[in-house]
Structure 1
Amino acid sequence: MKFEFLDYKLGSIFGLTDDIKKEHHNFSLTSGTINFLWNRNKEVLEIKIDDIPVQLQPNQLVTTTYLQHVSYENTNLPLTSFLFNREFYCISDHDSEVSCNGILFFGTQDLPIITIPKEQERKFNTLYEVFLDEFSTPDKIQGDMLQMLLKRLIIITTRLAKEQLVVKRLDNDQIDIIRKFNVLVDTHYKTKRKVNEYAELLFKSPKTLSNLFSIYNQKTPQQIILDRVALEAKRLIRFTDKQNQEIAYELGFNDPAHFSRFFKKTTNYSPSKYREMQEILA
């Protein structure tokens, strides 16, 4: 089963399928998309995100963005997907918390895997049925209706994410600072490598950021910045034909040797050794 809404003028797409492994190449637009992946089976299934195996328990959701490489090679059960691009949903008048830069789409933090509680399964299943019903009603306002339903999905999933993923000692304002920090890192990691640069953009002190992240998780803001650079380096080595020197310059390193030292320090492998390992595993 596959449905899609496509607006050629805007280049926007919203799609729904109950088997993304089978259908992910059959949508009109396949790049630059954001996904809700939902295991609606009664068994565990596996996907790979940036070559890391991820197991989804029954009634678990994970969100992925166009920054990540998702593989369904080892997925042996149907996996439901809601997919869309920024042209469809991420417009400026959406509330920041439920926009594509919201808490579900950090990009630099651990994967946001959300468990649908038993008492909320009916809510999610009903919303799924409403999506199906809307796809069977093509008219001039179908895009608006699908956008409203998507926002509803993002809102109820964001609420669960706040309960399950974020330490409850943080209030909403503090969570918002963390969210904005991660968005800024995704935007500027090639040119800004120091915490104080992000602190200035957030009108906060570096110490405030450090204190927040010490509550939120074990990574410091500086480590998050460096991990984001290393992650992009691994993606470029693994999924492109670019040579180490090209990757170094693309990531803002003036000297390829400096990039090599950075990569080995953060991954324990030189770029060349990491490339060889990926070729062996491919």
Structure 2
Amino acid sequence: MTHYYTNSLKGIILLTNNLPAVLAGHKTNDLYKFIWIQEGKATLVVDHVEKTLGKDEFISLSPLHDIKIKKAEGKYIGLLFNSEFYSIYKHDEEVSCNGLLFNGTSRIVNMQLPEITIRQLYEVIDKMRDEFLLNDSLEGEMLRLLLKRFIILCTRLAREHFSDSQKKESGFDIIRQYSILVDKHFKEKKRVADYAEMLHRSPKTLSNIFASYQLPSPLRIIHERIITEAKRLLLKSPASVKEIATILGFEHVCTFSRFFKHIMGENISDYRRRNSK
């Protein structure tokens, strides 16, 4: 069953156990997505990469991620919403999930839910179902509050997943802000020094912070964002390699080609031909 709510500002929130039907019947490239496997397992294809999730695993996807359900054995829940319903940018101080749960790279947040979080999320989902059925003038606001609680619970879990109690919150927030800035500026800014300046830190300090959380280097984060966008454009748009190089901020197509082969280990034409099949 799929529960659906939309408001006069084109805000949308969906709760479903039938994602293929939702993906086929709705324009979903503007939707943020949570997928929670409750029983059994499911095989997803995210940005042309196959991923299998087991019981009580969940992933969060931004509107940029292309997703298909290849196989589902058991039960799962999909919670989808757009920025018109709840803007994670506008409410970043409330939920602090931007750049953590949602980013533009293929580094997808995939976590196992502990028992306490499972109980809390079930409680939120049950209350959401009740609100979808009420259909009164306060339905939208109640759904927004419940979605906010759902996001906060997932954000807390993600923070615990990537850090520990001995590390300062400020370091984690710098990593999150760095990811947000890379998402926004990767086409024109490709040096760690550019982002370090915006964050009022030195490149070395940023590298040390990322290393302390056992994360890829700040430069690798930039490269991953560029290459993820390159793959999306190569596979989802008719643009030429030269046009894509320009879109991504490369002055010369040969520079883009060398960068792509260095990161991916194969040239652009081979990658496009192999994945287009």
Q: Please tell me the TM-score bracket, short chain as reference.
A: over 0.9
Matching residue of 1:266: 263
Residues 33-65 of structure 1 deviation map (CA, whole Å, 9 limit, x = unaligned)? 100101011x22211111112121201110001
Distance 2:244 2:143 in 1: 39
Count residues with an aligned counterpart: 277
More off after superposition, 260-269 vs 95-104: 95-104
Matching residue of 1:165: 162
Q: CA deviation at 1:226?
A: 1.1
Distance 1:97 1:77 in 2: 34
Matching residue of 2:33: 35
Q: CA deviation at 1:159?
A: 1.1
SS in 2 for 1:40: strand
Distance 2:106 2:48 in 1: 16
1:116–1:92 CA distance, 2 compared to 1 (3 A): closer
CA contact (8 A) 1:238 1:278 kept: yes
More off after superposition, 113-122 vs 230-239: 113-122
Of all paired residues, the percent bearing the same amino acid is: 35
Residues 4-53 of structure 1 deviation map (CA, whole Å, 9 limit, x = unaligned)? 1112x4221111101212322334x4221100101011x22211111112
Matching residue of 2:188: 191
1:250–1:33 CA distance, 2 compared to 1 (3 A): same
Q: CA deviation at 1:264?
A: 0.8
SS in 2 for 1:73: strand
- Structure 1: where are the runs of 5+ without partners? none
1:158–1:136 CA distance, 2 compared to 1 (3 A): same
Distance 1:177 1:196 in 2: 14
Residues 142-194 of structure 1 deviation map (CA, whole Å, 9 limit, x = unaligned)? 11111100000011111111112335543211111000100110111000000
Distance 1:100 1:158 in 2: 6
Distance 1:49 1:262 in 2: 23
- Structure 2: where are the runs of 5+ without partners? none
Matching residue of 2:217: 220
CA contact (8 A) 1:114 1:157 kept: no
Query: Do structure 1's residue 131 and structure 2's residue 128 form an aligned pair?
Result: yes
CA contact (8 A) 1:20 1:78 kept: no
Q: Which amino acid aligns with 2:35?
A: L
1:167–1:236 CA distance, 2 compared to 1 (3 A): farther
Distance 2:59 2:234 in 1: 25
Query: Do structure 1's residue 3 and structure 2's residue 18 form an aligned pair?
Result: no
More off after superposition, 83-92 vs 45-54: 83-92
CA contact (8 A) 1:38 1:59 kept: yes
Distance 1:243 1:93 in 2: 35
Distance 2:216 2:79 in 1: 30
1:134–1:191 CA distance, 2 compared to 1 (3 A): same
Q: Which amino acid aligns with 2:109?
A: P
More off after superposition, 226-235 vs 120-129: 120-129
Distance 1:248 1:74 in 2: 35
CA contact (8 A) 2:92 2:98 kept: no
Query: Do structure 1's residue 122 and structure 2's residue 112 form an aligned pair?
Result: no
Matching residue of 2:253: 256
Which residues in structure 2 correspond to 1:60-75 (within 5 Å)? 60-75=57-72
Query: Do structure 1's residue 18 and structure 2's residue 17 form an aligned pair?
Result: yes
CA contact (8 A) 1:19 1:78 kept: no
Distance 1:100 1:239 in 2: 27
Distance 1:93 1:248 in 2: 31
Instruction: Provide runs of 4+ in structure 1 moved above 4 Å.
Output: none
More off after superposition, 107-116 vs 146-155: 107-116
- Per the normalisation by structure 1, the TM-score is 0.92
CA contact (8 A) 1:3 1:135 kept: yes
